[in-house]
Chain A
Amino acid sequence: MADAGTKKTTHARPLSPHIGIYRQQINMVMSIVHRITGAALYVGTLLLAWWLIAIAQGAPSLDLVNLVMGHVVGKVVLFGFTWALIHHMLGGLRHFIWDTGRGFDISSVNRLGWMTIIGSILITLAIWFVALHARGAI
């Protein structure tokens, strides 16, 4: 233990039941999904870096990016990236609400959780619909 220099706290701390005994709740799922989307976006920055450096390198490099990302697999990855970005953003906004001390009662917590998941799916679909529509693809 790293107690060098700091006095050990003498308060009796409250104990919490282990996570395993809780019924699965939307809030627990949203909490871990926020972390997973954060980590996915972390890796996803490589895609942005790849795109930008390819543009800087020239047409042949960008053609390769377009070829890979234009493939079904690339599109699925990009769709997932869009969803992760939107979900994490909504999750972040939810954290900001909590940071003001609001929204901690059970019903608000549940409502915010469902708004995050449903909102992220709807917004992601809307973005793809508008983008594909603007290109005349649908």
Chain B
Amino acid sequence: MSEKLRPTSSPTHAAIRTPLAKVRGLGSAKEGTDHFWKQRLTGLANVPLTIFLVWLIARYAGTDHATVKAAIQQPLIAIPLLLLVLSGVYHMRIGMQVIIEDYVHSEGRKLLTLALNTFFAIAVALTCVFAVLKLSFGV
């Protein structure tokens, strides 16, 4: 970037950038850029895991119980499925938190929806993980 275009160096332009020292540990959850980074990390993991999920559903949705049960019991299906659930749920929880923080402004209602968001994510994750493990260990 040329000197003339750099927003912070020109006295005629208002500064766009906030110094890094002022954002560390800040943001509405006081965690700085942590959520931004984890949104990317889980999003990246979600790419191969989503392709796997699409294959699993396309292949096994609507098939009879014995077939789909035998499939999900295989470690090479159960493990990616568990990874998908963990990465997907973490990703969607912090993603939904951003949406809530953008649209819910009253402090009380924000706290409540953020709590419900966490409850939902944990409930979905635990249900899926429980089901896959129960099938895998066959108890």
Interface residues of A (CB under 8 A from B): 6, 9, 11-14, 35, 38-39, 41-42, 45-46, 48-49, 51-53, 55-56, 58-59, 62-63, 66, 69-70, 78, 82, 85-86, 89, 92-93, 95-96, 99, 127, 130-131, 134
Contact = CB atoms under 8 A, between A and B. Distances in A.
A82 B127 contact: no
A65 to B, nearest CB: 9
A13 B18 CA distance: 10
Given A45-B89, A92-B43, A12 B54 contact: no
B135 A59 contact: no
Contact of A130 (B58, B68, B96, B120): B58
Given A39-B99, A45-B89, A89-B47, A55 B14 contact: no
A96 B40 contact: yes
- Of the four ranges (under 10, 10 to 19, 20 to 34, 35 or more), the interface on chain B belongs to 35 or more
B109 interface: no
A53 B127 contact: yes
A25 B53 CA distance: 32
B92 interface: yes
A41 B58 CA distance: 17
Given A49-B128, A92-B46, A55 B135 contact: yes
A51 B61 contact: yes
Interface of B: 7, 13-16, 18, 22, 26, 40, 43-44, 46-47, 50, 53-54, 57-59, 61-62, 64-65, 68-69, 72, 81, 85, 88-89, 92, 95-96, 99, 120, 124, 127-128, 130-132, 134-135
A131 B58 contact: yes
Nearest to A128: B58
Contacts of A35: 99
A62 B40 contact: no
Contact of A69 (B61, B65, B85): B61
Contacts of A89: 46-47, 50
Contacts of B128: 45, 48-49, 52-53
